Amino acid sequence: MTDTGNEMDDDALAGEYALRLLSREDTRRFETRMAQDPALAALVRDWQARLAPMADELTPEVPPRHVKRALEARLFPDSARRMKVTRRLWMGITGGAVFAALAAFLLLLPQIQSPGFVPQYSAELMSEAEGLRLTAGFDPDSGTLILTRMMGEARPGRVQELWLIAEGEPAPVSLGVLADTTEIRLDVPADLIARLPGATLAISDEPPGGSPTGQPTGDVLAAAPVVKT
């Protein structure tokens, strides 16, 4: 090409560099110059911006789902484990626990009582293996959730933590550590009140003070759906 001045040469060279057309040696030489010459770097940047709209000619294609799953498992291994816990919760729920919970709930309903508290929703959290049974009553008007411990307590040196698993929430949300008392009163945060009906409550076994990660870390002891009273 006939030289029309260094400036134009550099501009074309920057374009070739942006297109990745330069040989390995020329690329190295160009990058050495660019490191010392911001104007050259700016020329490359301009070319990148000029050329990028060519990608609009390409047909976008939604990648298969497994790509995103693999990506997130790779970047966020802790939430992959969290998903496993969630899945375990759901498996527990679908494994007949719902029916058992509902049956028990009907029997135990009258025992939920606290002055002035009218639960519109309830859940029955129980585990035969754990010897655990708690009834939960929820009043969405006040956001009050009252759990009555019918049977069982936390494992020695451990605590029980209550979780909300709501549709659309990527992970369980902690509602608090449960005291070993008969009646446990929790105020559900305002933004979660509407999520409770139809969601699932679950109790996990955690170290003192509750889960250190903000997600269930120990065994899932019981889980049950929140149903209309």
What minimum distance in Å lies between the beta carbon of 211 and other proteins?
18
| Contact status: 71 vs other proteins (CB under 8 A) | yes
Give the residues across from 178 on adjacent strands: 160
3-class DSSP state of 159: strand
> What is the crossing angle of helices 38-51 and 24-36, to 10°?
120
Complex with other proteins: residue 75 or 190, whichever CB lies closer = 75
Burial status of residue 15 (CB atoms within 10 A of its CB: 0-12, 13-18, 19 or more): middle
Q: How far is it, in rounded angstroms, from Cα 227 to Cα 131?
A: 23
Q: What angle do CA 116, 120, 124 make, to 5 degrees?
A: 105
Structure tokens at 14: 């920057």
Nearer to other proteins, 7 or 180 (CB): 7
**Residues 172 and 86 sit within 8 Å (Cβ to Cβ):** yes
75 interacts with other proteins by CB under 8 A? yes
* 28 sits near other proteins (criterion: CB under 8 A): no
Number of residues that bind other proteins (CB under 8 A): 38
Q: Which two tokens stand for residue 6?
A: 């260094």
Q: Examine residue 67 and tell whether it contacts other proteins (CB under 8 A).
A: yes
Instruction: State the binding string over 37-66 for other proteins (x if CB under 8 A, else -).
Output: --------x-xxxxxxxxxxxxxxxxxx--
Residue 209 Cβ, how far from other proteins at the closest point, in Å?
24
Residue 156 binds to other proteins (criterion: CB under 8 A): no
Contact between 19 and other proteins (CB under 8 A)? yes
Contacting other proteins within 166-185 (CB under 8 A): 170
Place of tokens 């009555």: 148
Binding-site ranges for other proteins (CB under 8 A): 1, 8, 11-12, 15-16, 19-21, 45, 47-64, 67-68, 70-72, 74-76, 79, 170
